[in-house]
Amino acid sequence: MSTWVDVTTYGDLVVRGAALYEDQDAVVFPDTRHSFFSLEAAARRSARSLLGLGVRPQDRVGILMPNCMDFIEVMFGVALIGAVPVPINARFKGRELAYVTENADLKVLVTSDIIDQFTDYVVILHDCLPGLADAPDPANLDLDVAPELKAVVLLGSTSPAGMVDRAGFEALAENATDDEVELLRSQVAIRNEALMIYTSGTTAEPKGCPLNHESLVRTAVTACRTRFELTDTDVFWDPLPLFHMSSILPLIGCLDAGSSYVTITHFDPAEAIAQMRDEKATVCFSTFPPVTQAMINHPNWDSDEFQRIRLMNNVAPPDALRAIHALLPWARHVNAYGLTECGGVVSFSGPDDPPETWAVSSGRPFRGIEVKIKDLETRET
């Protein structure tokens, strides 16, 4: 049977979602949620504030935050005006942050103070961006270490030196109109740069991976339609960080299908179990063994409470995958192979694959993606 993909731009996902799914839950955190309607409205407000700050199409805007609603609102606000979100690893230290800020030519960097008790981004940024704390005009920076950077925005409860605070950022929306946002949105081409993701820098400096709208959206929609079979009745639970494709890809798929995307700011197994139960999750995208095992080994875990889970994704050694399947035998289980440069994922096992296939294989590549396997020593294909 032939299938097709409705490829659109990253920003248009929230516009189309609002038109199709209206008041259904789009994004859910433990303490707040957006319907598809309210998510679009919030993204448009962020877009106007960014325009008021001088952001223009193809400018890059860094987002340095833990998982939170501000992250999602800003990310899609950036996308709506044809600029490029650059989600930054929230675990980066000052050296990596200074490098990414300069290397990506960030025009604006948006951060948060909601995890100050664990990581104080204000202190880190003041330290790694000399001159920031003493800047006379936070909306017009002139820093030697980051010559393209014009503003650092702090979306929080404080007003740090050298940074545009929440009230100031929101007030900037008055300097732009909805018509301006709409015009810029209509001019975004699907082969334009949509997102820049930086690798973790395990063996060298982090490397930026630019992804265009077609690559980003097409891959995610294909995965979520053909391998997850998402619908507007699904509740997709994903605790992974929003600076990683393991969150961005499913979020795109949920916006396409009308599913509710449920996530959390800081992973705690007891809180995660409660959230999955309370939100009646149908898909569990825990993905990595430390996350999955922390939940299933927790005293609060009771497999019988999660009969609604119809699909679960994990990437782990075969024996670990077999053990997970034994705990939720009624669910379909999928495995994957992915990398950022390919839009997040190259292959997923199919939901109808037998358990042993899922345990020992990463599935089949999506149609349109070619895979070549070479011997590392002989270089033979």
Distance from C-alpha of 166 to C-alpha of 81, rounded to nearest angstrom: 20
Residues 266-288 have pLDDT tens digits of 999 999 999 999 999 999 999 99
Amino acid at 367: R
Residues 230-263 have pLDDT tens digits of 999 999 999 999 999 999 999 999 999 999 999 9
Place of tokens 């149908």: 282
1-10, 11-20, 327-336, range with greatest mean pLDDT = 11-20
Q: What is the mean pLDDT of residues 89-108?
A: 96
| Residue closest to 281 by CA, chosen among 236, 331, 329, 229 | 236
Distance from C-alpha of 56 to C-alpha of 54, rounded to nearest angstrom: 6
pTM: 0.95
Distance from C-alpha of 67 to C-alpha of 65, rounded to nearest angstrom: 6
SS3 365: strand
In a 10 Å sphere around its CB, with 0-12 CB exposed, 13-18 middle and 19+ buried, how is residue 242 labelled? buried
Give percent of the chain with pLDDT exceeding 90: 77
Q: For residue 3, what pLDDT is reported?
A: 67
How many residues in total does the chain contain? 381
> Which residues contact residue 237 at a Cβ distance below 8 angstroms, ignoring those fewer than 6 apart?
262, 263, 272, 275, 276, 279, 281, 283, 284, 285, 286
Residues 30-87 have pLDDT tens digits of 999 999 999 999 999 999 999 999 999 999 999 999 999 999 999 999 999 999 999 9
What the chain holds in terms of domains, given with CATH numbers, is 36-205 (3.40.50.980), 209-365 (3.40.50.980)
Q: For residue 201, what pLDDT is reported?
A: 61
Residue 2 has pLDDT above 70, yes or no: no
Residues 151-161 have pLDDT tens digits of 999 999 999 99
Question: Would you list the DSSP string of 83-150?
Answer: -EEEE--TT--HHHHHHHHHHTTEEEEEEE-TTTTT--HHHHHHHHSTTSTT-S-TTS--BTTBTT--
Q: For residue 130, what pLDDT is reported?
A: 98
* Reported confidence tier of residue 352, pLDDT bands at 50, 70, 90: confident
Residues 127-138 have pLDDT tens digits of 999 999 999 999
Q: For residue 339, what pLDDT is reported?
A: 84
Beta bridge partners of 28: 33, 262
Q: How far is CA 380 from the centre of its chain?
A: 36
Question: Would you list the DSSP string of 156-201?
Answer: SS---TTSEEHHHHHHGGGGS-HHHHHHHHHT--TTSEEEEEE---
Q: For residue 351, what pLDDT is reported?
A: 78
Distance from C-alpha of 346 to C-alpha of 362, rounded to nearest angstrom: 9
Residues 159-203 have pLDDT tens digits of 999 999 999 999 999 999 999 999 999 999 999 999 999 987 666
> Which residues contact residue 127 at a Cβ distance below 8 angstroms, ignoring those fewer than 6 apart?
94
* Reported confidence tier of residue 89, pLDDT bands at 50, 70, 90: very high
For 37, other C-beta atoms within 10 Å of its C-beta total 17
SS3 242: coil
Distance from C-alpha of 116 to C-alpha of 119, rounded to nearest angstrom: 5
CA angle, corner 21, sides to 17 and 23, nearest 5?
115
